[in-house]
Amino acid sequence: LAAIVAEGRDQPAQTEDGVRVSLQVNAGMNVEHGQDRWGHYEGIGLYRTEIPFMMRERFPTEKEQLDLYRQTLRAHKKVPVVMRTLDIGGDKPLPYFPIQEENPFLGWRGIRMTLDHPEIFLVQVRAMLRASVGYENLNILLPMITTLDEVDEATRLINQAYFEVRNELAQSDKQEQLTRPLVGVMVEVPALLYQLEAVAKKVDFFSVGTNDLTQYLFAVDRNNARVASLYDTYNPALLHALQHIVERCEELRKPVSVCGEMAGDPGGALLLVAMGYRTLSMSTHNLDKIRWILRHVDSNVLQVLLTQALSCSHPDQVRRLVTLKLEALG
Ligand code: PEP
Ligand code: MG
């Protein structure tokens, strides 16, 4: 199977009838690898900065973060790198920053924590911006956005960091320029689905986090085995939500990608491409598989699959449809 899937590894993902899909990588470690190891990829669609934070005994300094981010931007200098600001809390604790809560997933996590600690946020964004000098491939992504005020506040802090770093560069002898990064938000809290238009006026791109979107849409802890059967990305309710997002983003002319696990699931990827998503970011171990599948499918066939899937009332019906389609591909 590996040999079959390896065919076309160095080619972009494109359906048989020519629909291009940009496949990108979710990373947090092993960022030094690239095309030799992963095959063709078109960006780091999600760099989870909390992972290096979780591997330490204290908050990394601005200099330590700068070195790490620069290494990442340099290793992938030909493609965009989407760096997400710290997303701790929920299922991602920091040993040296304990948070005690009854409901961690509904509590102080992601942007909620960093906006309450602007010093943590500013140090991180400053490190990202300083790291980007000379590369120009930095994009900044904000996790767990729920309200417009959070977008405004985060933007204000990013602007503050931008002007600080720009002034510091201007005062040094080197002729270094700072490019303003694109800033986007994760669509993973369901409330954002009904604020896309207002948020779109303030950001450059959206990235859909299907892991948390599924968790919050169905009110089901993504790590609780007892309720795992309710956590189902083939549930038509989630499919309708995802369809809504891509349609709105097309109307609003805002780039949108998917960086949750669903993008790296063969059936999930087929449905997402059928809906109109053209950028999928996934764990590296799924890249070859998804690239191969997309290269062996026709987008008209996907349209039929999607229409059938959206008219289903049960996740199992969707699963059956998708499995049949995948079996037909071999
Ligand atoms: C998601 O929620 O889908 C996502 C990509 O982010 P994380 O899994 O890191 O919460
Ligand atoms: Mg998430």
pLDDT in tens, 177-191: 999 999 999 999 999
Q: What is the model's pLDDT at position 1?
A: 61
pLDDT above 80 (res 206): yes
Q: What is the model's pLDDT at position 237?
A: 98
pLDDT in tens, 135-149: 999 999 999 999 999
Q: What is the model's pLDDT at position 242?
A: 98
* Cα–ligand 1 centroid distance for 211 (angstroms): 5
* Cα–ligand 1 centroid distance for 187 (angstroms): 10
Confidence of residue 175 (pLDDT cuts 50, 70, 90): confident
What is the three-state SS of the chain? CHHHHHCCCCCCEECCCCCEEEEEEEECCCCCCCHHHHCCCCCEEEEECHHHHHCCCCCCCHHHHHHHHHHHHHHCCCCCEEEECCCCECCECCCCCCCCCCCHHHCCCCHHHHHHCHHHHHHHHHHHHHHHCCCCCEEEEECCCCCHHHHHHHHHHHHHHHHHHHHHHHHCCCCCCCCCCEEEEEECCHHHHHCHHHHHCCCCEEEECHHHHHHHHCCCCCCCHHHHHHCCCCCHHHHHHHHHHHHHHHHHCCCEEECCHHHHCHHHHHHHHHHCCCEEEECHHHHHHHHHHHHCCCHHHHHHHHHHHHCCCCHHHHHHHHHHHHHHHC
Confidence of residue 68 (pLDDT cuts 50, 70, 90): very high
Share of the chain above pLDDT 70, in %: 98
Which of ligand 1's atoms lies nearest the C-alpha of 261? 3
> Which residue's CA is minimally distant from atom 4 of ligand 1?
209
Q: Where is pLDDT greater, at 32 or 167? A: 167
Q: What is the model's pLDDT at position 239?
A: 98
State which of 142, 186, 220 you would mutate to test the pocket of ligand 1, scoring each by most atoms of that ligand within 8 A of its C-beta.
Answer: 186
ipTM: 0.99
Q: What is the model's pLDDT at position 30?
A: 73
State which of 25, 48, 277 you would mutate to test the pocket of ligand 1, scoring each by most atoms of that ligand within 8 A of its C-beta.
Answer: 48
Confidence of residue 29 (pLDDT cuts 50, 70, 90): confident
* Cα–ligand 2 centroid distance for 175 (angstroms): 38
* Cα–ligand 2 centroid distance for 125 (angstroms): 19
Q: What is the model's pLDDT at position 5?
A: 67
Share of the chain above pLDDT 90, in %: 90
Confidence of residue 163 (pLDDT cuts 50, 70, 90): very high
State which of 92, 208, 212, 238 you would mutate to test the pocket of ligand 1, scoring each by most atoms of that ligand within 8 A of its C-beta.
Answer: 212
Confidence of residue 2 (pLDDT cuts 50, 70, 90): low
Q: What is the model's pLDDT at position 3?
A: 63
* Cα–ligand 2 centroid distance for 259 (angstroms): 9
* Cα–ligand 1 centroid distance for 93 (angstroms): 14
* Cα–ligand 1 centroid distance for 1 (angstroms): 29
> Which residue's CA is minimally distant from atom 1 of ligand 1?
209
State which of 24, 111, 220, 259 you would mutate to test the pocket of ligand 1, scoring each by most atoms of that ligand within 8 A of its C-beta.
Answer: 259
Q: What is the model's pLDDT at position 36?
A: 80
Q: What is the pLDDT averaged over residues 102-126?
A: 97
> Which of 54-58, 112-116, 151-155 is predicted least confidently?
54-58
Residues with CB under 6 A from ligand 1: 46, 48, 87, 188, 209-212, 259-260
pLDDT above 90 (res 91): no
